[in-house]
DNA sequence: TCCATGCAGATGTAGGACATATGCACAGCG
DNA sequence: CGCTGTGCATATGTCCTACATCTGCATGGA
């Protein structure tokens, strides 16, 4: 026996392409909303047939990450698979349910973050809080929404459960549009205070107070949503 | 202008095929583990080209619902997309995180179920509880696991938030294997009591007690998991 | 300035061909 | 009789070509 050939079970080309494309979407090389190169171009550049490229692109399209438009091209639609699925299956009055789930996840994260946050978590939390206040003062809606999202996501990261963070990202992304639409500045003065109190509770390791703050935060949000979003 | 042709924007064939195949998987026509008809057969029966069928099958494969095997055929792997994604991305020590998320979702559901359960929910809950006890008494592990799952799922359904139920199903299915593996009968006598107490609290509309029962339930589960699953 | 037209290029679909891997039946051997 | 190796039928994987259909955009005319 001269030499054993590699017994490796190499993944099909289509799967490799999928991974590669997914990576390009995830690292921002193909930003959300942008048009990716055409199928023929991708095929010739990658040295594979158009059919293979199409299968990979179709898979990502069905997953909700891409959106092909006949006669135009293929565009990037989302970065996270879970979010894409939730967005696609979203029905009419789901916004309240989505918000409810978000509050569940974030309240749970607040408790866990208070118990095991690191110094780095605290620092990130403080910075996001400062950015948030600055954007509020400047009445910069985009910056405010971004800083607010960063604050909440930092909290989710600090809870130490990656699955919880993943679900939160998915749920959150599926309602990001309505968040931006319903945001108006300046914010209720009390809201900023509750955010700060939540950060304090997490820093102090006070799980009960962290939970109470998170619940209070969402009681306000729910109230605002009920007032502005219920035409009946 | 004699007559306007239909201005409908009909979905691409591939998407239609995907929906159809997904339906066949979902309604059990293509059971989990079974081998579906070959690409050529599907193509000729459906009157489309093999490439089109392949794109649809590939999309479902990437979604985790199907698993193609070269030289053999294509097999059904899972029924739910979310579960497939979570299962696929699952890393080593995620079981604890998964269990943690499950407890979060179920505790939240217990609170909401206590507030707005219907008479039908109560009846289903009682029936699942009885099945559970009967299976425990008969030491029938399969029936016990099934009845226990039915009890918890009924609780999730009673909470009135379909998104919460959906996430629960996904998270739960991704750990169903380890559940069956670690289950042994007869159960801890206290566990059955807590289940009954949870049903009582929900029926009485006592959200606080329902939350406490759910938390207690998962404290036990977590303890058992920590004892049996931590070799270090 | 505005609109209709036509073109170039994109995705959608069809059909064929060959490569490669697997399951299984069958024949050959111990 | 049992085991094993071989070969065939068939499955998916990949490539190729061709054409249909749709869209964005430039171009040119009212």
Give me the A residues in range 12-41 that sit within 7 A (CB) of strand C: 36, 38-41
A141 touches chain B (CB under 8 A): no
- Assigned token pair, B178: 């380890």
- Output the CA torsion sign for B49, B52, B56, B57: positive
Q: Which long-range contacts (CB under 8 A, 24 or more apart) does B7-15 make?
A: B13/B48, B13/B52, B14/A58, B14/B52, B14/B55, B14/B56, B14/B59, B15/A62
Q: What is the pLDDT of residue B3?
A: 36
Q: What is the pLDDT of residue A143?
A: 87
Q: Contact A54/B55 with Cβ under 8 angstroms?
A: yes
Please tell me which residue of chain A has the smallest CA distance to B17. A62
Q: What is the pLDDT of residue A21?
A: 96
Mean pLDDT of the A27-48 span: 94
State the nearest Cα–Cα gap between A134 and chain B, in angstroms. 34
A61 touches chain B (CB under 8 A): yes
Looking at beta carbons, which residues of chain B come within 8 Å of A167? 101, 167
Q: Which of A197, A193, A230, A228 has the alpha carbon at shortest distance from A212?
A: A197
Q: What is the pLDDT of residue B39?
A: 96
A30-39, A144-153, B92-101: least confidently modelled range? B92-101
Q: What is the pLDDT of residue B140?
A: 86
Beta strands in chain B (DSSP E): 35-36, 66-69, 73-76
- Output the CA torsion sign for A103, A25, B26, A11: negative
* C-alpha–C-alpha distance, residues B95 and B75, integer Å: 26
A17 phi, psi to nearest 5 deg: -60, -40
Q: What is the pLDDT of residue B89?
A: 66
- The answer to whether residue B185 scores a pLDDT higher than 70 is no
- Assigned token pair, B52: 């089109």
Q: What is the pLDDT of residue B38?
A: 96
| Per-residue pLDDT band at B127 (split at 50, 70, 90) | very high
- Assigned token pair, A61: 């399209």
State the nearest Cα–Cα gap between B59 and chain A, in angstroms. 4
* C-alpha–C-alpha distance, residues A163 and A166, integer Å: 5
Q: What is the pLDDT of residue B218?
A: 81
Distance measured from the CA of protein residue A72 to the C1' of nucleotide D27, in angstroms? 20
Give me the A residues in range 134-173 that sit within 7 A (CB) of strand C: none
* Cβ distance of A59 and B62 shorter than 8 Å: yes
Q: What is the pLDDT of residue A232?
A: 32
- The answer to whether residue B46 scores a pLDDT higher than 50 is yes
User: How far apart, in Å, are the Cα atoms of A68 and each of A11, A38, A148, A196, B16?
Assistant: 25, 10, 32, 44, 15
A197 touches chain B (CB under 8 A): no
User: How far apart, in Å, are the Cα atoms of A47 and each of A20, A38, B153?
Assistant: 14, 14, 49
Q: What is the pLDDT of residue A130?
A: 92
Summary mean pLDDT of chain B: 84
Nucleotides in chain D near protein beta carbons (<7 Å): 9-18, 21-24
The set of residues, in sequence order, having a beta carbon less than 8 Å from that of B50 and lying 6+ positions away, is: B39, B40, B43
Q: Is the CB of B69 under 7 A from strand C?
A: yes
3-class SS of residue A117:
coil
> Residue A67 belongs to what H/E stretch?
strand A66-69
Distance measured from the CA of protein residue B36 to the C1' of nucleotide D20, in angstroms? 31
The set of residues, in sequence order, having a beta carbon less than 8 Å from that of A28 and lying 6+ positions away, is: none
Per DSSP, helices labelled H in B80-161 are: 81-88, 94-116, 119-138, 141-158
Length of chain A: 232
* C-alpha–C-alpha distance, residues B85 and B123, integer Å: 34
Looking at beta carbons, which residues of chain A come within 8 Å of B18? 62
**Sheet-wide strand order for B66-69:** B35-36, B73-76, B66-69
Query: What digits encode the pLDDT tens for the residues B133-170?
Result: 898 888 888 888 889 989 999 999 999 999 999 899 88
- The answer to whether residue A77 scores a pLDDT higher than 50 is yes
B83 touches chain A (CB under 8 A): no
Of B51, B98, B163, the CB nearest to A94: B163
Any idea which residue has 């605002």 for tokens? A224
% of residues, chain A, pLDDT over 90: 47
The set of residues, in sequence order, having a beta carbon less than 8 Å from that of A220 and lying 6+ positions away, is: A188, A190, A191, A194
Mean pLDDT of the B208-214 span: 90
Q: What is the pLDDT of residue A25?
A: 94
Query: What digits encode the pLDDT tens for the residues A83-134?
Result: 777 766 665 567 788 888 999 999 999 999 999 899 999 999 999 999 998 9
Length of chain B: 232
B55 touches chain A (CB under 8 A): yes
| Per-residue pLDDT band at A194 (split at 50, 70, 90) | confident
Summary mean pLDDT of chain A: 84
B48 phi, psi to nearest 5 deg: -125, 170
Q: Which of B82, B54, B53, B77 has the alpha carbon at shortest distance from B66?
A: B77
- The answer to whether residue A5 scores a pLDDT higher than 50 is no
Does the reported pTM lie above 0.75?
Answer: yes
- The answer to whether residue B79 scores a pLDDT higher than 70 is yes
Annotate A70-82 with DSSP letters as a single string. TTTEEEE--S-HH
Mean pLDDT of the A145-172 span: 90
């Amino acid at each position: 026996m001269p030499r054993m050939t590699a017994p490796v079970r190499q993944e099909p080309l289509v799967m490799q392409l999928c991974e590669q494309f997914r990576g390009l979407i995830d690292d921002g090389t193909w930003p959300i909303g942008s048009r990716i190169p055409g199928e023929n171009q991708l095929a010739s550049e990658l040295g594979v047939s158009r059919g293979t490229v199409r299968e990979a692109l179709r898979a990502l399209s069905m997953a909700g990450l891409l959106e092909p438009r006949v006669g135009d091209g293929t565009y990037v639609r989302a970065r996270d698979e879970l979010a894409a699925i939730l967005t696609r299956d979203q029905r009419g009055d789901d916004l309240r349910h989505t918000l409810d789930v978000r509050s569940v996840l974030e309240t749970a994260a607040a408790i866990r973050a208070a118990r095991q946050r690191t110094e780095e978590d605290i620092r990130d939390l403080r910075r996001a809080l400062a950015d948030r206040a600055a954007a509020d003062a400047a009445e910069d809606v985009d910056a405010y929404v971004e800083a607010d999202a960063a604050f909440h996501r930092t909290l989710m990261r600090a809870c130490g459960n990656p699955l919880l963070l993943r679900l939160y990202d998915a749920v959150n992304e599926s309602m990001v549009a309505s968040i931006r639409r319903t945001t108006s500045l300046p914010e209720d003065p009390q809201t900023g205070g509750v955010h700060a109190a939540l950060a304090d509770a997490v820093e102090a390791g006070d799980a009960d107070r962290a939970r109470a703050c998170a619940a209070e935060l969402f009681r306000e949000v729910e109230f605002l949503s009920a007032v502005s979003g219920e035409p009946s």
